[in-house]
Amino acid sequence: MPAERHVYHNSEHYKHKGWIDDEGQPWDVPERLYGIINELLSDTIPTEWVVVPEVHKETYAIVSKLHSPVMIQAIYETGLQATDNNPLKSPYDRDTETNASAIYPGTFEQALFSAEASLAAADALLNDEEKRLTIAVSRPPGHHAGREFYHGFCFFNNAAVAAEAFKEAGKRVAILDFDVHHGDGIQDIFQDESEVLYVSLHADPNEIFPHTGHADETGIGEGEGTILNLPFPIGISNEEYFELLARAQEKIKSFGADYLIIEAGFDGHTREWPGLPPLTHLDDQEYAEIGDRLGHMNMRTLVIMGGGYNHDVTPGAFASFVRGFETGANIRDAEVYTSESTLPE
């Protein structure tokens, strides 16, 4: 039976070491993906794992179109000067007080490979009408990377790269972002575009990084009305959250998008920060419900792994969301797990 789940991955992402803060808390580090991969491997649905082998010139062309060439060059040159024990920062990094987005020798390459994984997943949907869902599980993430800035563990904007590919193919595309932090980079890139819709559900920007994504930010010029920010109060109830999700779905439906990109972040999970008041009350079953509701929209969809930094929580939340989406979209389960390729160590 042909594979139903298609996962795109940059297997050498560990070359970008990521950030462990001064208190020893790991953030976007390689181990974050290992748990997610293991959780997906435990499923019974047939899965095709696609390890992206190289960065194609088309990927670099889109990255260069969306991001300032000067910024791209700065990231590259900073990586040449950095070492694994001495990561460095470029002038385009907005994380002024931490090394959250510090550059290692492998950062530039793996940021491009992460964009490549999202673009390959988008191309698979464009080139095969039978595919209904593709998934990019890669790092570093991307939604905080704008035209001339980056921060929040992000360097190049994976969702924007995929959206641009759909747009260049003459398609209308909607991006739904439910990371608890606003995707200021996605908004910055597409706020003046008429063919790309960006909808974001995120915690109160007056309280939470990056302090953008207020409800009155709706797009500019030709893009007026193509940004829908749905900020919510800290500790929002699940009932209120799903009301906002319904508003997001209605906006996507009215936009008439041909493809849906989901920036799937799980850093709003109720167990993300043990001992602290939760930003939301969403647990695994709620993320499964989010997936189910989005799957019922019956759109050809690319899911991109976003935030979520509790390594004991994020894998189950992400897998629950994916399973929920597959249930809602009526993607058939199978009795035995199979894989057409073996993931490297």
Active site residue 144: yes
User: Could you tell me the CA-to-CA distances from 332 to 38, 129, 132, 317 in Å, in that order?
Assistant: 21, 17, 12, 20
The residue from 9, 144, 151, 181 that is catalytic is 144
- Report how far residue 62's alpha carbon sits from residue 65's, in angstroms, rounded to the nearest whole number: 5
Tell me the β-bridge partners of 47.
Answer: 5, 339
Residues carrying an active site annotation: 144
